[in-house]
Amino acid sequence: MEKIRWRYAGLLVLTLGLILVVTISGLAQEQTPTPIEGEEEEVDVTPTVPVTPTVDVTEEEVDEEEGILATTEEDRERDLELTVYNQNLGLVKEVHTFDLTEGENEIGYAGVATEIEPTSVHFVSLTDPEGTVVLEQNYAYDIASTRDLLLRYVDQEIAVRTVEGDVYTGTLLSGLDDVILASDEGFKMIKMGQVQEVSFPAPPDELVTKPTLAWLVRAAEAGEQDVRITYLTEGINWQADYIATLGADDDALSMIGWVTLNNQSGATYEDARLKLVAGDVHRVSEPTPKLEMEEQRARAEEAAVQEREFFSYHLYEVERPVTVRDRQTKQIEFVTAPDVTVDRVFVYEPSPTVRVPADEAVTDRTYGLDLDRKVRVMLEFVNEEKDGLGMPLPKGKVRVYKEDVGGGAEFVGEDAVDHTPEGEELSLHLGNAFDIVGERTQLAFEQVGERVIEESYRIALRNQQDEEITVRVIEHLFRAQDAEVLSSSEDYEMIDANTLQYELDVPVEAETAVTYTVRYEW
């Protein structure tokens, strides 16, 4: 294969030459290093003196090496697109420019995400897609740690300086747990904890200190080509975070929604076109990315974040370039709803929520009697435009504050919401009521037949607040699937075949109770 010079390999290898000096314990002090000639030389060493590699690599020598044709930083910043899914997954699309020769070329670049999924990488030439063929695709990432470097120098001569200042040279036989050297004088085993410095003779072959993608490409014609590279990476995620402030009368709130982006992928994305996908994308162990995302309608210039339907999901696109740095959490506002109509609701749901198979039943009389269920405080509202919303809301956490008499706001609770399309209801559990007490008592239990049970309950609610309230009581008919309510002291609504619901008014400092009897057959 034709030799191809490195564009920027010189700088890379010079850097590698510097990192080959490994100090196992302690930080290096800036002193002039003493060359190691042998054990008998008197060495004046402190525990932090670095040892210089015995072979220097110059940029001129590197230019004569056969290497990979790399892209520049300027090339990397062109046309960068980042799509983030709320499943700890990101899709990166970059356009790079390579100056290819006719025939086979080795090309690539370093600096991709450390959490990349190598099997998801896709390479396509935008300049000559028919005439440019990928023959091989490679991914390399070696961490230049002490252990990894020692493994690379097995069967080669190295020098080891101990914390006591003794210097040993010899052929490295092992560096896994202890350092074992072989020399004319025999074998020497040095405990890893006693090693102060290790000197290596020359840079190891093919040492890669950054995640690197490389390809063997056959080009039909020589010249510059624009290439789109696409890959999936883990370690990057987003969610929605909502801040809601409840009004004084508890009947309206204002809400701001933030996109919270957390990048732990091991790469920084400068001035990227950022898209966020809300929805549960099915994945398998070796996912195949959807490489090209076709836009279905024009972007709105006035919106900071534009939402649109995409496949069976919703896609949010930020209308300006965004830099997402590695190890950074970034927030971008995407929802503003200043006046949303809400209802405060009290919910008492004391019965078990189990569901048994059709031919079975829970026959234990005491099952579920010891449940200590509190009366929940809920906020309910509908995601409709007439109620102040009317937009697809991605899943996330809603933190609710309430205005206080002094003009400030106090935190009153939070809850998580799932992806909520327009027109659907939302319900937030903020906490448990302090001055409302519920009590559920079993009045009767009788097995009237081999596969028939009749059971009665009394549910009481006491209100110690200074205003009349309505409590929603939810009872699950849990003992068997075939359940029939024989009698009830209050009207109820069947939510489904095994769930009934009461709306009970409870006066100030008073008690309201309801009784019912149910028959189970299985």
Residue with tokens 């919910």: 347
Among 435, 436, 479, smallest CA distance to 457 is for 479
Angstrom distances, CA of residue 167 to CA of 59, 176, 191: 31, 20, 14
CA distances 388 to 117, 256, 397, 466, Å, are 42, 12, 19, 30
Which of 21, 7, 15, 5 is CA-nearest to residue 210?
Answer: 15
Closest C-alpha among 111, 113, 76 to residue 97? 76
DSSP 92-105: EEEEEEEEEPSEEE
Which position has the token pair 């450390």?
Answer: 114
CB 17 within 8 A of CB 203: yes
Which residue in the block uniquely carries the two structure tokens 């699309």? 93
pLDDT in tens, 257-274: 999 999 999 999 999 999
Chain length of the chain: 522
Cα–Cα dist 307/296, whole Å:
11
Position 402 scores a pLDDT of 93
- Tens digit of pLDDT for each residue in 313-372? 778 888 889 999 999 999 999 889 999 999 999 999 999 999 899 899 999 999 989 887
Please, which pLDDT band fits residue 78 given cuts at 50, 70 and 90? low
Looking at residue 203, what is its pLDDT?
65
Mean of the pLDDT values across residues 23-44? Answer: 38
User: pLDDT tens-digit profile of 42-60?
Assistant: 333 333 333 333 333 333 3
Angle 194-149-24 from CA coordinates, rounded to 5°: 30
CB 268 within 8 A of CB 323: yes
Tokens of 176: 């896994």
Q: Picking from 13-27, 110-124, 445-459, which range would have the lowest pLDDT averaged per residue?
A: 13-27
3-state secondary structure (DSSP) of residue 238: strand
The amino acid occupying position 453 is: I
Q: CA nearest 124: which of 17, 11, 28, 230?
A: 230
Q: 390: phi > 0 → left, psi -120 to 50 → alpha, else beta; which?
A: left
Reported as a pLDDT band with limits 50, 70 and 90, residue 226 is very high
Which helix (H) or strand (E) segment holds residue 255: the answer is strand 252-263
Cα separation, 453 vs 444, in Å, equals: 10
What pTM did the predictor assign?
A: 0.65
pLDDT band per the 50, 70, 90 thresholds, residue 415: very high
Portion of the chain with pLDDT greater than 70, in percent:
78
Residue type for position 179: V
